[in-house]
């Protein structure tokens, strides 16, 4: 429904959000996969790719005073980076910091996607770490 009311010299358009008499109610139950996705939201940010490398989704927050992991969410691991986002300094600091978190060489941590975005994906290559070990190290280093 659409109606127009004149109020104190201004015209306000109101849109009715009520359902018509003939509208059918949809089943409001969530599919069973929706609950599974929520419970595995933490592990969805760390996964194994086809070539056996571990992919970690990162939500970067550059320009912080110091580098730290702020939390683990469905979108990715929140990392505040102690470097400005200028000339790739934040990306270099991210790789350096994550290599310390996972206790691997810097050459084992590479930035796969998101060099100019806050949403990044890093790859862990040539490591003997499992996905569970990576998640454990992330949780242990979360502030």
Whether the per-residue pLDDT at 128 is higher than 70: the answer is yes
Query: What are the pLDDT digits (tens) for 15-50?
Result: 554 555 555 554 444 444 433 433 445 668 999 999
The verdict on residue 27 lying in a domain is: no
What torsion do the CA atoms of 36, 38, 39, 45 make, to the nearest 10 degrees? 110
Q: Which domain holds residue 86?
A: 43-140
Q: How many domains does the chain have?
A: 1
The verdict on residue 96 lying in a domain is: yes
How far apart are the C-alpha atoms of 133 and 106, rounded to whole Å?
18
Average pLDDT (6-11) is 58
What is the distance, to the nearest Å, from the Cα of residue 55 to the centroid of all Cα atoms in its chain?
A: 13
- pLDDT-wise least confident of 20-24, 110-114, 118-122: 20-24
Angle at 101 between CA 96 and CA 105, to 5 degrees: 55
Tokens of 11: 């015209």
Query: What are the pLDDT digits (tens) for 42-88?
Result: 668 999 999 999 999 999 999 999 999 999 988 999 999 999 999 99
Quickly state the pLDDT bin for 3 (edges 50, 70, 90): low
Contact in structure between 12 and 4 (CB atoms under 8 Å): yes
Tokens of 38: 């929520």
Question: What does the pLDDT read at residue 114?
Answer: 96
Q: What are phi and psi of 21, to 5 degrees?
A: -65, -25
- Measured over the CA atoms of residue 84, residue 85, residue 89 and residue 90, the dihedral's sign is positive
**97: closest CA among 111, 113, 118?**
111
The verdict on residue 62 lying in a domain is: yes
The verdict on residue 17 lying in a domain is: no
Looking up residue 89, the CATH number of its domain turns out to be 3.30.1200.10
The verdict on residue 126 lying in a domain is: yes
For residue 95, give Cα distances in angstroms to 8, 103, 105: 59, 12, 10
Largest CA distance in the chain: 71
Question: What does the pLDDT read at residue 74?
Answer: 86
Claim: this prediction has a pTM higher than 0.85: no
Question: What does the pLDDT read at residue 11?
Answer: 56
Whose tokens are 């005073």? That residue is 65
Question: What does the pLDDT read at residue 143?
Answer: 81
């Amino acid at each position: 429904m659409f109606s127009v009311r004149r109020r104190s010299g201004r015209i306000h358009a109101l849109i009715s959000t009520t359902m018509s008499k003939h509208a059918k109610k949809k089943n409001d139950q969530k599919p069973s996969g929706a609950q599974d996705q929520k419970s595995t939201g933490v592990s969805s940010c760390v996964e194994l790719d086809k070539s056996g490398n571990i992919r970690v989704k990162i939500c970067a927050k550059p320009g912080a005073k110091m580098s730290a992991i702020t939390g683990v969410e469905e979108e990715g691991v929140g990392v505040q980076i102690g470097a400005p986002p200028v000339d790739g300094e934040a990306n270099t600091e991210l790789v350096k910091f994550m290599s310390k978190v996972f206790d691997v060489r810097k050459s084992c941590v590479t930035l796969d996607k998101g060099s100019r975005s806050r949403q990044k994906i890093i790859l862990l290559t040539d490591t003997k770490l499992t996905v569970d070990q990576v998640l454990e190290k992330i949780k242990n280093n979360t502030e």
